[in-house]
Amino acid sequence: MKRIMSRIDGLWLGSLLLWVLPFAVLVPLGLLWLQQHGAMLVWLGSLLLLSGAGFGLQSWLKERQQHQLDEGQTRPDPTWPPVAEGAWARVESLVEQIEPDDWPLDDGTRLGELAQLTLERVASYFHPEVEQPLLELRVPHALLVIERASRDLRESITQNIPFSHRLTIGSLVRVYRWKPFAERLLGMYRAGYWVVNPANALLSEAWGHLRKRGFAMAQQDVYRWLLQEYVRKVGAYAIDLYSGRLLLTDDTPIMRLTQVSREDVERAVSSEVAEAEPLPGEPLRILVLGRSNTGKSSLINLLFGQLRAATDVLPETTRALMPYRLERDGLDLALIFDSPGVERLAYKTLNEAAISADMIIWVSAAHRPDRQSERQTLDAVRTAQAARVDRRPPPLLVVVTYIDRLRPLREWLPPYDLTDSTNLKAMSIQAAVTALATDLEVPIANVIPVCLAEGRLYNVEDTLWTAILDQMDRAQRTRLLRCQDERRREENWNLLRRQLANAGRFLIALPRRMSRNQ
Ligand SMILES: Nc1nc2c(ncn2[C@@H]2O[C@H](COP(=O)(O)OP(=O)(O)OP(=O)(O)O)[C@@H](O)[C@H]2O)c(=O)[nH]1
Ligand SMILES: [Mg+2]
């Protein structure tokens, strides 16, 4: 204290006091005046009341702003494959541990380290077997993670932090100014140095502006939010990257036909309307499976609205997987696959078909209750699907056919209300549905009873169609991941081809270069 005082000029201090004095005496004089007029208590009361109201209002504003920030928080992408859940949990646990004091924004490299830490967490989750999984990261992809995370963060800041729109232009320019520089220093990325980090520039600048503005929200809270969002965004893109969804191009993966669908479309039987029109993108692939003679082809004919697939009272009518082009209102362009009885399908064919399906319709006859082999086949399909953690298993609907053959045998008076316990036929149908749900281990809501017999058509156009449309969201997600998987493989292959070509060119030119150098 002494030292501070000794540094201040006494005369300066005196002049300041002279300035302040008239205002400072106002307080005791005011209190005296209140005392003399007997208004002290009123004043004290109002003081308490107004401070209370001010405090209340402030807490409310703070809470509202906090809520706004929470709303703007990055969340896991619903289209991620199941494997991403564990990786996201890791990112969130890192987010929980963040203490603003540990990550000062004015220290340039620290933010880079935070990004690296996030990437490492995700990387080691996807590649637990690799000692330094970050080194597995391809350079263009690493750049992409940072660029996209920064771009997103800029948007979040604009949307969630008051006045921040004023600071974004400069930051954006900064980010893009960094990019070519970063690209020139690709080697540094490879070595794991995150100094070349556009997000870093963006965050420092954003924070600098916010601090100057001294706005209502507790600075520490915004700072924490900023850091947490940074980690979440880098984490989210890292998950995209490691689960194979981050592509170098920006086009939507479903806009182009996959190789397998291209071949299937060529083989597909089309309805007259659809004939000759090329498909604008990847169709949904609906696979119809079930034992022989259960009504698979009849079902396809009915969904198709025309007689296309061969049906017969004798089993083994359909001899191979057969695609049909299905176009209906409310349904994305689809290929629906008729199949021979599952017992006749080779394991490999069945697995391949199931892996590349976006929805599976399993047809089972109500009057044939021996379902052990069906369950085994279905379980094998499920196991194969579950092994592909980078994909989402397609939704499964079970269609129960031959309900007209249930007891009482002679009765057929639809519609049936399955909750009506006085109607014997309705009860038989309900019992068959419940038994199938248990036998095949599927949710009862996904088991749809129908009748496909000629002249006895029941429950297809209404209930079954509604059930199919209800599963559309899930089917589309499955399709998205399937297409992304193919695009990534294509991309890897193209990169490798380009790298090999460049290496080849280099080798060809080498003797010439060497002779020039000699
Ligand atoms: N009574 C009755 N008959 C049905 C029903 N569903 C299908 N059928 C009949 O069962 C027979 C076989 O139907 P398909 O559609 O050829 O069966 P599938 O499963 O394609 O048979 P495969 O191709 O041989 O595996 C046909 O004669 C159909 O009319 C139903 O719900 N009730
Ligand atoms: Mg058939």
CA atoms of 95 and 229, how far apart (whole Å): 8
Dihedral sign from CA coordinates of 375, 377, 383, 385: negative
Q: Are residues 62 and 79 in the same domain?
A: no
Asked if 36 and 176 sit in the same domain, the reply is no
- Look at residue 159 in the predicted model and tell me its pLDDT: 62
pLDDT at 363 over 80: yes
Q: How many angstroms separate the CA atoms of 357 and 341, rounded?
A: 17
More confident residue, 69 or 288: 288
Residues 290 and 201 in one domain: no
Residue 193 belongs to some domain of the structure: yes
Strands 447-449 and 284-290: unpaired
Question: Measured in angstroms, how far is the CA atom of residue 432 from the centroid of ligand 2?
Answer: 22
- The pLDDT, as a whole number, for residue 186 is 40
Q: Say what the pLDDT of residue 74 is.
A: 85
CA nearest to 119, candidates 250, 233, 228: 233
Identify which of 109, 73, 69 has the alpha carbon closest to the alpha carbon of residue 91.
73
Nearest CA to ligand 1 atom 2: 453
Q: Of the given ranges (270-274, 282-286, 412-416), which has the lowest mean pLDDT? A: 270-274
Which ligand lies nearest to the CA atom of residue 312 in the structure? 1
Q: Is 179's pLDDT higher than 70?
A: no
State the average pLDDT over residues 313-317: 67
**Are 392 and 325 contained in the same domain?**
yes
Q: Are residues 324 and 380 in the same domain?
A: yes
So what's the pLDDT on residue 361? 97
Q: What CA–CA distance (Å, rounded) separates 26 from 22?
A: 7
| Cβ of 281 below 6 Å from ligand 1 | no
Index of the ligand 1 atom closest to the CA of residue 292: 25
pTM: 0.65
Query: Is residue 339, in this structure, part of any structural domain at all?
Result: yes
Q: Is 60 helix (H, G, I), strand (E, B) or coil?
A: helix
Q: Supply the range of the domain harboring residue 107.
A: 74-242
Ligand 1 contact via 313 beta carbon (within 6 Å): yes
Q: Is 316 in the pocket of ligand 1 (CB under 6 A)?
A: yes
The residue that leads in pLDDT, 289 or 185, is 289
Q: Does any ligand 1 atom lie closer than 6 A to the CB of residue 150?
A: no
CA of 443 relative to ligand 1 center, distance in Å: 24
Span from the CA of 366 to the centroid of ligand 1 (angstroms): 12
**Confidence class for position 167, pLDDT limits 50, 70, 90:** very low
Strands 359-365 vs 334-338: parallel, antiparallel or unpaired: unpaired
Whether residue 317 has its Cβ less than 6 Å from ligand 1:
yes
How far apart CA 309 and CA 302 sit, in angstroms, is 10
User: How far is ligand 1, taken at its centre, from the CA of residue 363, in Å?
Assistant: 10
Stated as kind and residue range, the H or E segment containing 117 is helix 108-126
**Using CA positions, which residue lies closest to atom 4 of ligand 1?**
453
Task: Answer yes or no: do 104 and 32 share one domain.
Answer: no
**Alpha carbons 113 and 495: distance in angstroms, whole number:** 29
Which range, 182-196, 199-213, 244-258, 417-431, has the best average confidence (pLDDT)?
A: 417-431
User: What percentage of the chain reaches a pLDDT higher than 70?
Assistant: 68
Confidence of residue 249 (pLDDT cuts 50, 70, 90): low
Rounded distance between C-alpha atoms, residue 416 and residue 198, angstroms: 65
Q: Is the CB of 293 under 6 A from ligand 1?
A: yes
Please tell me the total number of residues recorded for the chain in this structure. Answer: 518
Token pair 């003399």 is found at 36
- 436, 371 contact by CB (below 8 A): yes
Going by alpha carbons, the residue nearest to atom 27 of ligand 1 is: 313
**Confidence class for position 405, pLDDT limits 50, 70, 90:** very high
413 with 284, same domain: the answer is yes
Whether 446 contacts 474, CB under 8 Å: no
User: At residue 362, does pLDDT exceed 50?
Assistant: yes
**Strand locations in 369-445, DSSP E?**
396-401
Mean pLDDT is lowest, of 59-63, 98-102, 135-139, 240-244, for: 135-139
The mean pLDDT value for 239-266 works out to: 77
Mean pLDDT throughout 382-411? Answer: 90
Q: Which atom of ligand 1 is nearest to the CA of 299?
A: 15
Same domain, 119 and 224: yes
Q: What is the pLDDT of residue 122?
A: 87
> Please, is 352 exposed, middle or buried when counting C-beta atoms within 10 Å of its C-beta (0-12, 13-18, 19+)?
middle
| Count of domains for the chain | 3
Classify 423 as helix, strand or coil: coil
Which has the closest alpha carbon to 155: 172, 140, 135? 172
Q: Residue 348: beta bridge partners?
A: none
What does the pLDDT read at residue 160? Answer: 60
What rounded mean pLDDT belongs to the chain? 78
Q: What is the Cα–Cα distance from 120 to 154, expressed in whole angstroms?
A: 23
Query: Stretch 370-399: mean pLDDT, rounded?
Result: 91
Q: Please say which residue of 28, 52, 68 terminates a domain.
A: 68
**Looking up tokens 């031959």, which residue turns up?**
402
At 342, which amino acid appears?
V
CATH number at residue 473: 3.40.50.300
339 CB less than 6 Å from ligand 1? no
Same domain? 330 vs 446: yes
CA 260/CA 337 separation, integer angstroms: 13
Judge whether residue 9 has pLDDT over 50: yes
62 and 83 share one domain: no
The CA distance from 185 to 98, in Å, is 29
Provide mean pLDDT across the span 485-494.
73
128: part of which helix (H) or strand (E)?
Answer: none
Q: Say how many Å lie between the CA of residue 94 and the centre of ligand 1.
A: 56
- Is the backbone peptide bond immediately before 180 cis, with ω within 30 degrees of 0? no
Q: Which atom of ligand 1 is nearest to the CA of 317?
A: 24
**498 pLDDT exceeds 60?**
yes
Q: How confident is the model at residue 166 (pLDDT cuts 50, 70, 90)?
A: very low
Q: Could you tell me if residue 211 is inside a domain? A: yes
Indicate whether 492 belongs to any domain.
no
Ligand 1 atom at minimal distance to the Cα of residue 300: 15
Q: Which region among 156-160, 174-178, 388-392, 405-409 has the lowest average model confidence (pLDDT)? A: 174-178
- What are 89-128's pLDDT values in tens digits? 999 999 999 888 888 765 556 766 787 788 888 888 887 7
Instruction: Look at residues 242, 270, 305 and tell me which one is the last residue of a structural domain.
Output: 242
- Could you tell me whether strands 396-401 and 359-365 are parallel, antiparallel, or unpaired per DSSP bridges? parallel
Asked if the structure places residue 440 within a domain, the reply is yes
Sign of the CA dihedral with 294 first, then 297, 300, and 301 last: negative
How far apart CA 491 and CA 443 sit, in angstroms, is: 38
Which of 430, 426, 406, 405 lies closest to 414 in space, CA to CA? Answer: 426
Least confident of 194-208, 304-318, 319-333, 433-447: 194-208
Domain closes at, from 242, 276, 291: 242
Does any domain span residue 129?
A: yes
Residue at 502 is within a domain:
no
Of 77, 80, 73, residue with least CA distance to 230: 73
Does a structural domain hold residue 25? yes
143 and 45 fall within a common domain: no
SS (H, E, C) 72-91: CCCCCCCCCCCCHHHHHHHH
Nearest-5° Cα angle at 225, 222 to 231: 145
- Of the listed ligands, the closest to the CA of 315 is 1
pLDDT of res. 452: 94
pLDDT-based confidence at 288, cuts 50/70/90? very high
Same domain, 32 and 100: no
